[in-house]
Amino acid sequence: MFQKSLESTKAEEWLKQLVDEWAVGIAMKTSEGKVVAGCGEMIAKKEEQGITCEINGHIEGYEDYYQNDFWTVDGTDSTIHLFRLSSDGQIHDHRGQWIDDVTIEMYWRGTFEDQEQEEHITAKWVTKNQFEIKETNYSKGKLLLTTDYVFKRKQLGE
């Protein structure tokens, strides 16, 4: 068995903090500048190799969406993976690293519906009971959508 790096252990501790039930606030801004709001819920559970998250979201003017995420850490190089399956059929492996003690940056690039796409995700712990995710989507280098998520722990709140 190999010795885990300090970065890998730190990332696993960060991910363990996700385990709970969360209320989610959503603000989405389109490339045309239109802003819409929404809300949702997330349930995160510890699995043997990482954390699974089920997210149900409701955004004004859009169909409800569902998303299944699996967060894990590659023990060989401490890369953080966020595997995502969304209700519109997209499957992505976002990969990233720590940029400071509370923030992870992750990226994905690929194609969806025959279009080149790219996603940048920044996840940041604000407090033990709140974290935020900013997701920016691009197609062929042009901004498509920016979505800000605020997750607040349901049981403890603040």
Residue 134: inside a domain: yes
Residue 109: domain span:
6-153
pLDDT in tens, 16-72: 899 999 999 999 998 888 999 999 999 999 998 899 999 999 998 888 989 999 999
3-state secondary structure 75-131: CCCCCEEEEEEECCCCEEEEEEEECCCCEEEEEEEEEECCEEEEEEEEEEEEECCEE
Burial class (CB in 10 A: 0-12, 13-18, 19+), 55: buried
Q: Count of domains in the chain?
A: 1
Average pLDDT over every residue of 123-138: 95
**Is the pLDDT at 87 greater than 70, yes or no?**
yes
**Looking at the domain assignment, is residue 158 inside a domain?**
no
More confident residue, 78 or 46: 46
Predicted local confidence at residue 8, as pLDDT: 56
Residue 54 lies in a domain: yes
Q: Is residue 1 part of a domain?
A: no
CATH code of 115's domain = 2.40.128.20
pLDDT of residue 2 exceeding 70, the answer is: no
Handedness of CA 8, 51, 154, 119 (dihedral sign): positive
Token pair 């959503």 is found at: 26
Q: Cα angle vertex 47, ends 45, 50, to 5°?
A: 95
| Rg from Cα positions in the chain | 16
102 occurs within a structural domain = yes
- CA–CA separation, 150 and 138 (whole Å): 21
